[in-house]
């Protein structure tokens, strides 16, 4: 279905405006699908992201700072997410051995098992892109990187 029919807008100021709206609309579509998938496992997208970060550090730990730095959603409260995951038994949160002010977070066996159980669902999410061939997906990745590399223009 075309963007015009999905957002009920017949025309856009220009192709840049259309692309901007299209990116936002597509983002919301993907986020909605991801939220539905993760809800089946009683976690949020942000919690899944933290678990994936911790799995990457396993068997070691990650500080709250490292988690916050690597999270996809930079507006998330990493400390609160870690606490919710701790209450579910998916992570262990301990004060640092060398620095008592730091917090060390480790994924538990239960957290690793949850990620393993979620693999089919995550693979299904990735299949949203499977109709795009490898050359196009590579081009899409390059274009998205290029958007993020752009420095905002100063406004007067």
Q: What confidence score (pLDDT) does residue 155 get?
A: 55
**Average pLDDT taken over every residue of the chain:** 92
On whether the 43-121 domain is CATH 1.10.10.10, my answer is yes
Q: What confidence score (pLDDT) does residue 92 get?
A: 97
Structure tokens at 117: 């159980």
Low-confidence ranges of the chain (pLDDT < 50): none
| Helical residues (DSSP H) of 60-133, grouped into ranges | 64-70, 78-87, 109-126
Q: What confidence score (pLDDT) does residue 114 get?
A: 98
Could you give the 3-state DSSP secondary structure of residue 62?
strand
Q: What confidence score (pLDDT) does residue 6 get?
A: 84
């Amino acid at each position: 279905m075309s963007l015009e029919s999905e957002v009920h807008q017949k025309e856009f100021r220009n192709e840049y405006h259309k692309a901007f709206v299209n990116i936002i609309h597509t983002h919301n579509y993907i986020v909605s699908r991801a939220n539905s998938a993760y809800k089946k496992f009683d976690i949020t997208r942000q919690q899944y992201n933290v678990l994936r970060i911790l799995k990457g550090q396993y068997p070691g730990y990650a500080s709250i700072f490292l988690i916050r730095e690597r999270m996809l959603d930079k507006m998330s409260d990493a400390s609160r997410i870690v606490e919710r995951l701790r209450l579910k038994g998916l992570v262990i949160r301990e004060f640092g051995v060398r620095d008592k002010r730091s917090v060390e977070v480790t994924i538990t066996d239960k957290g690793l098992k949850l990620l393993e159980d979620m693999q089919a669902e995550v693979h299904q999410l990735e299949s949203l892109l499977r109709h795009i061939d490898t050359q196009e997906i590579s081009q899409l990745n390059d274009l998205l990187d290029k958007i993020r590399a752009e420095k905002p223009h100063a406004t007067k």
